[in-house]
Every structure is written in structure tokens, then in C-alpha cells.
Amino acid sequence: MDVFFQQLINGLSLGGIYALIALGYTMVYGIIELINFAHGDVYTLGTFFSLAILTLLGVDSVVHGPALIGVLAVTILGAMILCGLTGVIIERLAYRRLRNAPKLAPLITAIGMSFILENLMLYWRGPSPVPFPQVIPNPQFALGAVTIQAKQIIVVLLAVVLMVVLQTFVYNTRLGKAMRATAQDKDAAQLMGIDINTTIALTFLIGSALAGAAGFVSGMYYGSTWFFNGFGAGLKAFTAAVLGGIGNLAGAMLGGFLIGLIEAMTTQFISDQWSNVVVFSVLVLVLIFRPSGLLGESLPNKV
């Protein structure tokens, strides 16, 4: 039972990272029905950007006290801003012109964009794993036989806080309403006076910024990254988005945490090598019995 609770903690931390990435997939899909395959690579870029910022700040080991909060804030916000801008540039350069093209064109472009980012990162940081400094003191708390690390709490906390902020933004602000309107009906949104180009750019900005935050968290959590890291993580986060119901924010969060938990539990109770098989089997089963995902709405888009 202790092992179960230990894996529950591990799975939730892992899931927090997947959930943050999944939000970007689901937001972009929700608004322009594009599976942005480059999104996983934006997440890896987030880790590299964080690393670059830490290097600029001259931080290469554990920081204590108030300075830690400053370092964390600057690094996370910096990575979010840089990734956000990367997302906006990708949309502007690669996807906007293809908005009215057949669906396959932007999809192939997204795969191409993914290759471009991966190779840029390969060129920038080389083919080997790059170590990520341990900046936070990582005290461990024992709950009976279960150990919780401080960084696990940070991962889950950051994921939950960012999701609450996002949810509030999307449902309670004017721009958030504009995003939802654009997602539901682009022509009608324009007739309301909404500038859909700006709204779509904003969606890429936010989704990519969340991937940036996930990138930082992943560096901190795993202690290293490499240029190809986003491929596998991106695929699982995308699975999480589909599992929860693509286009649905709460679904992406739920899916992310579920995938993290399934992965952790499979690794523990079956075997490490089976974790991907189980994760994707769950996806297949959900799609067979609930094609719109766990929280996906079956209300038709157009009546």
C-alpha cells in the first residue's frame, strides 16, 4: 500500500508536467483544429531557455532564502515569455497562411516545424543530454513510509495554480470570451467585432507559455534534458488532451494527471517497458467507448 501511495505522489508530479503541456495542445486544437506537433518541442525549448536564464543569472547550484524566490520567478517567467513568443512566431510564419487550406497542409507543416525546432536545439545544445542545475533545496518529507520531495510539491502546485489562472482568464475575461467565441464559430466571432488573428495569436502565446513553464519544471524535476525530449513527452501530453476531450481545458488537466498516474502505476506494478503500451491502450479504449474524450462535449458545433 505504501508503494501505491508513493507512486500516487510520483504520478501526480509527472502528470502535472503532462497537464501543462496538454493545455497547449488542447487550446490550439480548440481554436484552429490543428494538432500542433511542434508543441512538444516548444516544451523542450522551455527547459533550454530556463537553463540559459539560470546561466545568465550565474546560478549553478542550490539557492536559499528570498533569493530562491527571485531566481524561480525570473526563470519561470522568462521561459514562459520566450516560449510564448516562439509560439506566436510559429503561428505567424507557418500556420496563419494555411488557415483556410485543406487540413492536411497545416498538419504536415506542424510536423516540419517540429523537425526545425528539434534541429535548431540539436545545433544549439548538441546531441547529448544537458544537465540542469539543482537550484532548489530539496528537503524530503516522510509521511509514514511515503516520501514527498519538495520539488514534487512545487510541480503539482505550479501546475494547479497556472491552470486556475488559465481557467479564470478563459471564462471570466473579455479576451477569454473572445477566445472561446473564436473557437466555436470564427465567422460569428468576427461579426461580434473580435479580431480573430489577434485572438489566435494570443492562444498560441498562452499555450506555449504554459509549455515553457512545464519546460522549467521538467528540467528541475529530472535534472537534465536533451533536444529530442519533447517528442515523447509531447506525444503523451497530446494523448492526455485527447483522453480528456480535445478542446476542453479541464479535460486536458484531468487527462494529464491520469496519464501521469497510469505511467507511474504501470512502471511500479507491471514493468517500466509496459508503461507506454498501457498508456496508449487506455487511449484506444477511451476513444472506442467515448470518442469525444472523458470530458468532451457531444454538443454539435454547428446547428
Partner 1 sequence: MLLEIENLVARYGRITALNGISLTVGEGEIVTLIGANGAGKTTTLRAISGLVRPASGSIRFDGREIDRLAPSEIVRAGIGHAPEGRHVFPRMTVRENLELGAYTRRVRSEIADETARVLDIFPRLKERYAQKAGTMSGGEQQMLAIGRAMMSRPRLLLLDEPSLGLSPKLVQTIFVVIREINARGTTILLIEQNARQALAVASRGYVLEVGSIAHSGAASSLAASEAVRAAYLGGAA
Count of residues touching partner 1 (by CB under 8 A): 22
CA 167 to chain centre: 15
Q: Which is nearer to partner 1, 45 or 178 (CB)?
A: 178
Here's the x/- map for partner 1, 195-234, by CB under 8 A: it reads as: x---------------------------------------
Q: Helix, strand, coil shares of the chain as percentages rounded to 5?
A: 75, 5, 20
Question: How far is it, in rounded angstroms, from Cα 47 to Cα 50?
Answer: 5
Measure Cα distances from 301 to 181, 185, 266 in Å: 11, 8, 37
Residues 180-199 that bind partner 1 (CB under 8 A): 180-181, 184-185, 187-195
Residues 159-178 that bind partner 1 (CB under 8 A): 174, 177-178
Q: State the virtual CA torsion across 218, 144, 259, 149 in degrees, nearest 10.
A: -10
With binding defined as CB under 8 A, does residue 96 bind partner 1? no
With binding defined as CB under 8 A, does residue 97 bind partner 1? no
Least Cβ distance, residue 177 to partner 1 (angstroms): 6
Here's the x/- map for partner 1, 63-82, by CB under 8 A: it reads as: --------------------
Question: How far is it, in rounded angstroms, from Cα 187 to Cα 35?
Answer: 21
Helical axes 174-184 vs 196-222, angle rounded to 10°: 100
With binding defined as CB under 8 A, does residue 302 bind partner 1? yes
With binding defined as CB under 8 A, does residue 272 bind partner 1? no
- CB neighbour list of residue 288: distance below 8 Å, 6 or more residues apart: none
Residues that bind partner 1 (CB under 8 A): 174, 177-178, 180-181, 184-185, 187-195, 297, 299-303
